[in-house]
């Protein structure tokens, strides 16, 4: 763990000065000590009356949650209005557990938490006002079974103990807070956050097909993202999240990481798109690309569309050349994504949480 932390901080210092050399290094160079450097159901409770009050008070929003204090035979309803420190405590709990299992992917749950928050938000339709992070409807079928959400049960299950420890937070707010925490703890930019999402039941599940299809090209990307209200620049900035994590053959069908450091957020995704030579991978799975040099990285057809389309490519080039610009634009657009369709209270405040391990 100590070696991993030291190497991760070293990556932060080298991010803008020597990243080209790092991106060309074999993946093993990032795995010190066998660790990182690659880059659901409601909790059970002892008293059903407590949860009856909690469920009935759901409409109160982030500003207050009814619960019962039980003193012997008496029960007194009170209002709990969580503040910044309460949400920081949830953040800290998530951060403390991100690397608790060495054998999960590249040693961190961070990437899958980002994917959960992304997919919970990316179902938004600006024309109908449906979908988005307000609802956490991926808890239910059929949305939990949509192909784009394969493997996200791992993220939902990871957050269940956090929900049990902090029962006042909605799943909707928790999932987004998990994504915010993961980005910041994986050396990404600060992501302002505000609560106020309310959970919905299965009736709020969105239809399949609202999330990007990795096998498609630029026309599909524009159809998907324009529906949410994003422009070309924002599409490319959001795609930078592919610097994190990897695909799994038993989930999406695709296999492999996009970058050599899948638990550290950098602009390497854009650099690799431009600088590496990519070829079709010869295997029995769906069509995907591999880098010619090491054959250990992959890109999807939707990724390659970003350099095949002139309007997209100009932003790929800008972000490849300027990590600070990428961080600024990524932070802005991920906040927009996470807040799509959420009926926040008037004058609600955004907070920036203190990091724990970064």
Rounded Cα distance, 340 and 337, in Å: 5
Active site residue 258: yes
Token pair 């800290």 is found at: 92
CA 170 to chain centre: 17
Please give the span between the terminal C-alpha atoms of the chain, in angstroms, as a whole number. 13
The bridge status of strand 65-71 relative to strand 289-291 is unpaired
From the candidates 119, 146, 168, 315, which is the catalytic residue? Answer: 119
Secondary structure tally for the chain: helices H, strands E: 13, 7
Dist. CA 326–CA 114, nearest whole Å: 17
Please state, in angstroms and as integers, the Cα–Cα distance from residue 351 to each residue in 122, 123, 194, following that order. 22, 24, 6
DSSP category for residue 206: P
| In 267-322, alpha helices (H) | 268-275, 301-308, 310-321
Query: Which residue stretches of 57-152 are H helix?
Result: 84-97, 110-121
CA distance 346 to 90: 24
Q: Is 119 a catalytic residue?
A: yes
The catalytic position among 66, 168, 175, 258 is 258
Q: Which residues are catalytic?
A: 119, 258
């Amino acid at each position: 763990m100590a070696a991993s932390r030291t190497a991760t901080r070293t990556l932060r210092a080298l991010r803008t000065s020597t990243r080209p050399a790092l991106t060309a290094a074999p993946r093993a160079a990032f795995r010190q000590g066998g660790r990182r450097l690659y880059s659901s159901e409601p909790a059970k409770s002892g008293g059903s009356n407590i949860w009856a009050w909690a469920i009935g008070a759901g409409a109160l929003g982030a500003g207050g949650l009814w619960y019962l204090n039980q003193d012997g035979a008496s029960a007194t309803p009170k209002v709990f209005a969580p503040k910044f420190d309460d949400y920081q405590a949830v953040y800290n709990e998530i951060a403390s557990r991100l690397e608790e299992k060495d054998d999960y992917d590249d040693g961190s749950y961070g990437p899958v938490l980002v994917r959960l928050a992304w997919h919970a938000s990316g179902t938004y339709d600006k024309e109908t006002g449906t979908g988005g992070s307000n609802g956490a409807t991926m808890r239910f079928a059929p949305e939990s079974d949509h192909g784009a959400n394969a493997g996200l049960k791992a993220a939902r299950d990871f957050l269940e103990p956090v929900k049990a420890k902090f029962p006042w937070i909605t799943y909707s707010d928790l999932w987004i807070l998990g994504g915010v925490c993961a980005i910041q703890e994986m050396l990404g930019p600060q992501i302002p956050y505000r609560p106020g999402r309310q959970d919905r039941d299965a009736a709020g599940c969105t239809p399949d097909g609202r999330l990007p299809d990795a096998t498609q090209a630029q026309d599909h990307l524009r159809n998907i993202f324009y529906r949410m209200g994003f422009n070309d620049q924002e599409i490319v900035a959001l795609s930078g999240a592919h610097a994190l994590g990897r695909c799994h053959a038993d989930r999406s069908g695709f296999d492999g990481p996009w970058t050599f450091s899948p638990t550290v957020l950098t602009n390497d995704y854009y650099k690799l798109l431009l600088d590496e030579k990519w070829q079709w991978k010869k295997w029995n799975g769906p069509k995907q690309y591999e880098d010619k040099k090491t054959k250990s990285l992959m890109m999807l057809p939707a990724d390659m569309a970003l350099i095949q389309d002139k309007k997209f490519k100009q932003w790929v080039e800008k972000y490849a050349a300027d990590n600070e610009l990428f961080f600024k634009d990524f932070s802005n657009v991920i906040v927009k994504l996470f807040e799509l369709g959420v009926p926040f209270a008037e004058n609600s405040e955004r907070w920036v949480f203190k990091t724990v391990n970064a």
